[in-house]
Amino acid sequence: MNDYFKLEKKLIKLMPYSHLLKGNLRGLEKECLRISDQATLSPLPHSKKLGSTLTHPYLTTDYAEPQLEFVTPPFSSNQEVLNFLDQLHQWVYQNSEELLWSSSMPCRLNGEESIPIAQYGSSNQGLFKTIYRRGLGYRYGKMMQAISGVHFNFSISNELWQALQIIYQNNDSLSYFKSEHYFGLIRNMQRFGWLVPYLFGASPAVDKSFLEEKRHRKLQHFDEDTYFLPYATSLRLGDIGYNNKKNNKSGVKLNYDSVETYAKGLKEAISKSCPFYEKIGVLINDEYRQLNTSILQIENEYYSTIRAKQILEKGEKLYQGLQRDGVAYIELRSLDVNPYYPVGISEEQLGFLEILMMFCLLLESSFLTPQEREEIDWNQNQTAHQGRDPSLLLRRCGETQLLRTWASELCNAMRGVAEWMDRVDSKRFYAKTLEKQLEIIHNAEQTPSAKILEDMQQHHESFAEFAYRLSKQHRETLQTQPTNDLQMQYFNQLAQQSLIDQEQLEMDTLPFDMYLKNYFNTHEKS
């Protein structure tokens, strides 16, 4: 409670600086599968009408060839972000007859072989991206890679950072000060990150084909085609989805004390060979199975709910960018695709995430202890599997506490942050958003995960039938709403230019083995 008192004192001092919040930036990366009319994975390659997945700035693919990734530039408002994402979806539907899957968990799959790895052309950069994905398949299995999510990128304006330096009476360099407090934000987001799957988790069920007829011991039968858990919020973040357990077995455990310790851990992970991955091999029968046998092939392989990021210079690796100029922005990766929205996320969700980020920034943030790290993993897993159970206990500082009690305490403590943020907008958007989440905490039936299961029951649908129905609804919505012709023309120009850019990259005659050697040799010099 003393930390909350300190927070209120900071907010009083920050009141004159609320206008600087307008300089904060946010962006989104949203993944989804292209599917056929049978609710199965599309067998078609990425359409050239959509441009090159290697060089298009806003539309690429994630792991699989039919797994689109929509990327927005950074904007100063959530409405601008969502408008751009909405228009990008409209443009894709103008240039494709396929459906975009409305859920994080995959459509019906026909085994791992039905999931084609994304292709990026014959250039060295393109081969690098494809081989990296091939390595992920060997290391973790293709099924896990077919899961989709939404990533929220958030940065705080330099002007607000400078105001915070004045309030904290801090004389460090701006870069050092930002990184120190960004990592404080990250540590608190890990402590309280279970709030995200509780409030916004939207994957309580999964098609049985995802598990290849091997029933997971914790899952229950919803119907003959679907597994679920009655109180689940986000199976995507649980045992069957993305988690750090495999990484932990191979030695990845980053230290979040500072940008220096974090960058050092990343460098070690992409440098140190792992016996598990040595067994896979690298170049077998003239085919690359993975980029290398390191604990992480590249830094992107580090699966975490939240990551520190930097805008990289050409040829630079993330750890090098962090060492050069600290943290530029934060990437939150624990958001499910919300099947009730055509673009998979709402303005209300983004508003709450902003409040949570600023709360975690301004609240005191000590270093994580080994006990806290265990509690963080436990709390996320329990919330993913049982978050809506009214009796669910989470672990907190060596004791247990009801999820709902802790969640209410946190959201009540965020009220001052929401009020401060609302000083730049008379509509009280942030306060209203926070109050809505408090209602959901006390009524779990309002969560997306609960609504999904209720919908499936009422319509007598399997998970795949439910997601397919909403996918068709969203296509109709996006195709019938007015379009911005200038924006559509802009996307067409980007697609054409991206194809030209890819062709130019493919003119490079450097052998791939030399390209690969040059790429990884750079970290040995820094």
* DSSP conformational letter for 118: P
CATH architecture of the domain with residue range 2-525: 2-Layer Sandwich (3.30)
pLDDT at 68 over 70: yes
Contact 7, 360 (CB under 8 A): no
Is residue 525 scored above 60 in pLDDT? no
Q: How confident is the model at residue 526 (pLDDT cuts 50, 70, 90)?
A: very low
Average pLDDT over residues 469-484: 96
| pLDDT of 465 | 97
What average pLDDT does range 146-167 have in this prediction?
A: 97
Inform me whether the pLDDT recorded for 251 exceeds 70: no
Residues ≥6 apart with Cβ < 8 Å to 437: 199, 352, 411
Distance of alpha carbon 479 from alpha carbon 499, whole angstroms: 25
pLDDT tens string 185-195: 999 999 999 99
pLDDT-derived band at 2 (thresholds 50, 70, 90) equals confident
- Segment 38-60, tens digit of pLDDT: 889 999 999 999 999 999 999 99
User: Residue 244 has what pLDDT?
Assistant: 38
Say which residue the tokens 């990551």 belong to: 307
Contact between residue 63 and residue 118 where contact means Cβ atoms under 8 Å apart: yes
Q: Hey, CA dihedral for 320, 324, 326, 330, is it positive or negative?
A: negative
User: What is the model's pLDDT at position 261?
Assistant: 97
Dihedral over alpha carbons 402, 406, 412, 415 (to 10 degrees) = -140
Average pLDDT, the chain: 94
Rounded to whole angstroms, how far apart are CA atoms 54 and 72? 16
Residue 248's pLDDT is 45
The pTM for the full model equals 0.96
- Once rounded to an integer, what is the mean pLDDT over residues 325-329? 97
Task: Give the long-range contacts of residues 482-485, CB within 8 A, separation 24 or more.
Answer: 483/87, 483/90, 483/94, 484/87
Q: What is the pLDDT of residues 406-438, one digit of tens each?
A: 999 999 999 999 999 999 877 899 999 999 999
DSSP 8-class letter at 256: -
* Rounded Cα gap, residues 4 and 70, in angstroms: 38
Please calculate the CA angle 281-285-289 and round it to the nearest 5 degrees: 40
Confidence of residue 215 (pLDDT cuts 50, 70, 90): low
Confidence (pLDDT) at 315: 84
Residue 470 token pair: 């909403």
Cβ partners under 8 Å of residue 124, min gap 6: 505, 508, 510, 512, 515
Q: Are 109 and 297 in contact (CB under 8 A)?
A: no
Q: State the pLDDT confidence band at 239, using cuts at 50, 70 and 90.
A: confident
